[in-house]
Structure 1
Amino acid sequence: MLYANQSLTNVTAEQQYVGLLERVLFSTLTTVPCCVFLFINGTMLFTLRSKTVFRETSRYILLFNLLSADTVQMALSQLLYLLATCRVTLTYPVCGVLVLLANLTSVISPLTLVVMSLERYVAVCYPLRHSTIITIRNTAVAIIVVWAVSSLNILARVILMLDFPFEDLESLQMKDFCSEISLYIGPKSDDYDNVYTCVLFVSASVAIISSYIGVMIAARSASTDKASARKARNTLLLHLVQLGLSLSATIHNPLLIAISKTAMRIVLVRIQNVFYVFIIILPRCLSALIYGIRDHTIRCVLVYHLCCRLKLLSSDWPS
């Protein structure tokens, strides 16, 4: 009997050790790439504010807004992931603020992609009127509208959170780690999420696809710059891919809920780690990589800052 108890104790200790080892391994595998991309995104944001040409060009201003939202979203996601991995619980109000802020930034990204697609459409289809339509003032108004729509979504979520039965709780301290699933309110919130997500991404998809079709039609015109049209077409395709990846983040929680009904907890944790890397982190890194590599004007300055301001040929710097 004593031997059996000792063996059971050894097995339990071994399982705890393996569990701790897995948590450390997964935390390292997610935190290191996340920190690298946060550094790249931060450098990209600094780059977009370092030159007058970036501060006074609409597409770079929109890119700055997109990168800002993606960077905040990535930082919040990694913070919540590390808190969950370290088994640190928060209070409901603090968790609610973090989740709402994450929702705010997640909505800003697809809306900004729509505005960027429309800007490319105007640049190709109405090149002579581009400078009068796409002005700094109009760009600022578009960004304000994007943030206002995102804020209305947060306001609706706050109103739905008022139905949360806080009076039935023994304490405001959460028993589980902070996540949107932990703040599940009820069927009203679930229905609102489904409707809002469908409306948002259907509208965004229609806007981007319509812009793409418009650019394709304009590319066949003899008066259109073929190189500019081809580049705009490729950019719009990338926007559509980014939108799809943003949409994949919205199905993250429903997938986990569905899998949790059949999978063991340890299997669920492993699946959640894989989903986190490919659905949450990876899409937030693409904007900096796509625009940092494709745009020659950004690439020169970005490499300069990433290489700790090593001396580059002055001819490669944008004026």
Structure 2
Amino acid sequence: SRTQRSFSYRTWLCTQSRQYQGVLERVLFSTLTTLPCCLFLCINGIMLFTLRSKALFCETSRYILLYNLLFADTVQMALSQLLYIIAACRITLTYPVCGFLTMLANLTTVVSPVTLVVMSLERYVAVCYPLRHASIITITNTGVAIIVIWAIGSLNILTRVLLLLEFPFGALDSLQMKDFCSEIAMSGGSMSDDYDKAFTCALFISASVAITCSYIGVIVAARSASTDKASARKACNTLLLHLVQLGLSLSSTICNPLLTALARVLTRIVFVRIQIVFYVCIFLFPRCLSSLIYGIRDQSIRPVLIYYLCCRLKYSVIQPRLKAAIEVEC
């Protein structure tokens, strides 16, 4: 009848409207997250190139450690955005591919806080033992420290892979995932969850203690007459920034249990929206801080970074300030 046809048409129109709003919303959120991510990936890439452009940066331990931190943050940001775009496009991966991407993301997640600890210890030695700094913080020792940092992350990944063996792959019809790829989807079970919580707590408690002790040591050393007050003050500010970065990294690790709890009580569409907000504020934003903090604060990096950000254009406004810093480049 005409009434039934009218009802069917309204139902079809409502369904199409909901589908259109879903696509429009995905496009909007994808654009709002992809554009800033691409911008900061470019800035991080220029920052990484800057740290390899001059001999000063390649032969100074703190700049080598900064390069390692930026590299880990850049890889983490790129992987996070890749997984987000895959999920937004409703593309499902196979379990091996998803496992590789999530494990690589976990590796860089561990590298960042451990690198912050080593950088804090380097600042502590520079302020408290200035005469022995050159003999303790050498290029060789810095390389060994970076190898140990990546070894800690690799051991964590190896342990996760071994715990993943309890995942019920045999009960699956195929290796194709039914949902989008995420760390929650690759959770192995109760033993894996217990290990993840224990490792995260141990990592961030030890990192917090190390950075806090370094900060206290620098404050105590700053009160002595033999210590350079300006250098000690800069070191204190740097260590405080390291604590902030560590706190932001910790917030990204405790996000997964919170999302798991929210998934049980919220509808799927509300949960996805909250997950996107968490992704931008907790995962994406902290990965952009390192390049901004050190690119703006460091007097040696800032002029060279501006030079490359301006595509080597010698504007009269910035040329006097850049001339001394980029003389080698020119």
TM-score between the two structures when normalised by the length of structure 2: 0.95
In structure 1, C-alpha distance between the alignment counterparts of 2:121 and 2:143, rounded to whole Å: 14
Q: In structure 1, how many angstroms separate the alpha carbons of the residues matched to 2:192 and 2:125? A: 38
Secondary structure of the 1:2 match is helix
Between 1:33-42 and 1:309-318, the stretch displaced more is: 309-318
Q: Does 1:165 align with 2:174?
A: no
Residues 297 and 318 in structure 1, CA contact (< 8 A), matched pair in contact too? no
Does the alignment pair 1:39 with 2:42? yes
Instruction: Determine the structure 2 residue equivalent to 1:272.
Output: 275
Give the letter aligned to residue 31 of structure 2: T
**Percent of paired sites with the same residue:** 71
**1:19-30 to 2 correspondence within 5 Å?**
19-30=22-33
Aligned CA distance change for structure 1 residues 237 and 318 (closer, same or farther; 3 Å)? farther
Mapped to 2, the partners of 1:78 and 1:167 lie a distance apart of 31
**1:79 aligned partner:** 82
Q: Once the 2 structures are TM-superposed, how far is the Cα of residue 151 of structure 1 from its aligned partner?
A: 0.4
- Aligned residue in 1 for 2:147: 144
**In structure 2, what is the Cα distance between the partners aligned to 1:275 and 1:166?**
30
Letter in 2 for 1:230: R
Superposition deviation, residue 254 in structure 1: 1.2
Report the Cα offset of residue 12 of structure 1.
0.8
Q: Which residue of 1 aligns with 2:136?
A: 133
**Residue number in structure 2 paired with 1:201:** 204
What code does the residue aligned with 2:324 have? S
**Pairing partner for 1:60 from 59, 63, 69:** 63
**Partner in structure 1 of residue 240 of structure 2:** 237
- Give me the whole-angstrom Cα distance separating, in 2, the residues matched to 1:271 and 1:288: 27
AA at the equivalent of 2:219: M
Structure 1: how far apart are the matches of 2:89 and 2:169? 26
Give the C-alpha shift of residue 11 in structure 1: 0.8
- 2: CA distance between counterparts of 1:273 and 1:25? 12
Deviation readout 1:258-304 (Å, 9 max, x if unpaired):
11111111111111111000000000000000000000110011001
1:48–1:60: 8 Å Cα contact kept in structure 2? yes
Counterpart check, 1:259 vs 2:285: no
Of 82-91 and 178-187, deviating more is 178-187
Cα offset for 1:176? 0.5
Question: How much is the aligned-residue C-alpha RMSD, in angstroms?
Answer: 0.9
Q: Output the CA distance in 1 between the equivalents of 2:90 and 2:259.
A: 19
Tell me if the contact between 2:69 and 2:112 (Cα under 8 Å) persists in the aligned partners: yes
- 1:288 pairs with 2:288: no
1:161 and 1:257 map into 2 onto residues whose CA distance is: 18
Structure 1 residue 316: deviation in Å? 4.0
Q: Could you tell me how far apart the structure 2 residues matched to 1:188 and 1:129 are? A: 45
Cα deviation for residue 315 of structure 1 reads: 2.4
Please give the alpha-carbon distance, in whole angstroms, between the structure 1 residues aligned to 2:29 and 2:169: 34
Question: Take 1:316 and 1:64, find their aligned partners in 2: how far apart are those partners?
Answer: 19
Q: C-alpha displacement at 1:317, in angstroms?
A: 3.1
* Contact 1:74–1:284, Cα closer than 8 Å, also in 2: yes
CA distance in structure 2 between the partners assigned to 1:271 and 1:212 by the alignment: 36
Does residue 110 in structure 1 map to residue 113 in structure 2? Answer: yes
Q: 1:315: which partner in 2? A: 324
Please give the alpha-carbon distance, in whole angstroms, between the structure 1 residues aligned to 2:304 and 2:15.
54
Give CA-to-partner distance per residue, 1:49-107, whole Å, 9 cap, x none: 00000000000000000000000000000000000000001000000000000000000
SS at match of 1:296: coil
- Give the match's secondary structure for 2:110: helix
Residue ranges of structure 1 left out of the alignment (5+ in a row) = none
How many residues are matched? 319
Determine the C-alpha separation between the residues in 2 that align with 1:44 and 1:89. 34
2:97 aligned partner, one-letter code: V
Answer yes or no: is the 8 Å Cα contact 2:121–2:214 preserved in 1: yes
> Deviation digits for residues 30-51 of structure 1, max 9, x if unmatched?
0000000000000000000000
Q: Summarize deviations over 1:111-143 as a string: whole Å, max 9, x none.
A: 000000000000000001000000000000100
Q: State whether residues 125 and 133 of structure 2, in contact with CA within 8 Å, keep that contact through their aligned partners in structure 1.
A: yes
User: Which residue is 2:52 aligned to?
Assistant: 49
Residues 1:247 and 2:256 are matched in the alignment:
no
